[in-house]
Amino acid sequence: MLALILGIAKSDENVRAVWMSGSRANPDVPKDVHQDFDVVFQVRDVKPYWDNDEWIERHFGKPALMQKPESMSLIPPDGDGNFVYLMLFPDGNRIDLCLTKMPFQESDEPAIILLNKEEGAPDGGDVPVIKGTKAYWYVKRPTQKQFSDCCNEFYWCMNNVAKGIARDELSYAMKQFNEYVRDMLVQMLKWYVGAENDFSVSAGKEGKFFKKYLPGDLYERFRKTYSDAEYEHLWAAVAEMIALFETAAKHVSAKLGFVYKEEERRAIEDYISRVREA
């Protein structure tokens, strides 16, 4: 697949550089057949490639499934002048291709520079060069304010979960629980992982490496925060999530010298008790 990508880029004078980011540019990510090819073509002019299915099919073949974020209206596009093709091919390969006029910046996500025609090297400059450092992916050390905001958002949004259950509004309760509240749990667990590893590891997108870095008992508790649609099971997941969040928050606060407000946890537990008894 990389040979195909580079062949297309080398034969097109408008393409000046190619780099690959994502998991294939991260040496710490286990390699498997499911990894995407996150590729950027730096071009002189994006217009020839804009919403151009014919160009895609002629060079890459016909995707089995494709999404073009810049051509969508339900999900607002970035509007940054780039055009992106997200492509899944019949053989299972996936390519996320971004066409941009912007050159690679050292502050960007680390990448492997696969082709650089501007270097003027006899071989076209296509010797892979890794740019950026792994620290880009590491869990970032929070400030006291960020820590406190995370706690406050977690406990505050939990009241909406309780109201949703009490009103038999399943989709509302689940959205509040599995998006707004869970996002804060995942963030706190990331800080737990960071604090335990001197903030020199990545917990992965959405905490996908938690199984690797969290103690076994904490990971099992994390698994129990996922519920089906039975309200009694959801209430149990709520209780588990609150207890797990506090365990992680207290650990992070002790490690980093932060203040943790237990009164917020007590307040939401009192509220949940009143809701369940009503």
Q: Domain with 55 in it: what CATH number?
A: 3.30.460.10
Task: Judge if 90 and 199 occupy the same domain.
Answer: no
> What's the CATH number where 221 sits?
1.20.120.330
Task: Judge if 129 and 203 occupy the same domain.
Answer: no
Task: Judge if 130 and 210 occupy the same domain.
Answer: no
Collapsing DSSP to helix, strand or coil, 50 comes out as: coil
Q: Pairing state of beta strands 94-100 and 37-43?
A: parallel
Structure confidence by residue, pLDDT tens digits, 85-99: 999 999 999 999 999
81: left (phi over 0), alpha (psi -120 to 50) or beta: left
Structure confidence by residue, pLDDT tens digits, 225-266: 999 999 999 999 999 999 999 999 999 999 999 999 999 999
Structure confidence by residue, pLDDT tens digits, 17-59: 999 998 888 877 888 888 899 999 999 999 999 999 999 999 9
Angle made by CA atoms 121, 122, 124, in degrees to the nearest 5: 65
Q: How far is CA 166 from CA 130, 159, 276, in A?
A: 53, 11, 7
Q: 168 exposed, middle or buried (CB, 10 Å; 0-12, 13-18, 19+)?
A: exposed
Name the nearest CA neighbour of 104 among 122, 131, 123, 129: 131
Question: In angstroms, rounded to a whole number, what is the distance separating the alpha carbons of residues 10 and 4?
Answer: 10
Task: Judge if 149 and 214 occupy the same domain.
Answer: yes
Say if residues 102 and 42 touch (Cβ distance below 8 Å).
Answer: yes
Residue where a domain stops, chosen among 116, 136, 156: 136
Q: What is the pTM of this model?
A: 0.87
Say if residues 68 and 86 touch (Cβ distance below 8 Å).
Answer: yes
Residue 119's pLDDT band (cuts 50, 70, 90): low
Residue where a domain stops, chosen among 89, 113, 136: 136
Task: Judge if 85 and 161 occupy the same domain.
Answer: no
Task: Judge if 43 and 94 occupy the same domain.
Answer: yes
61 has pLDDT over 60: yes
Parent domain of 38 = 2-136
Total tally of structural domains belonging to the chain: 2
Task: Judge if 113 and 186 occupy the same domain.
Answer: no
Comparing 96-110, 133-147, 176-190, 224-238, which segment has the lowest mean pLDDT? 96-110
Task: Judge if 46 and 170 occupy the same domain.
Answer: no
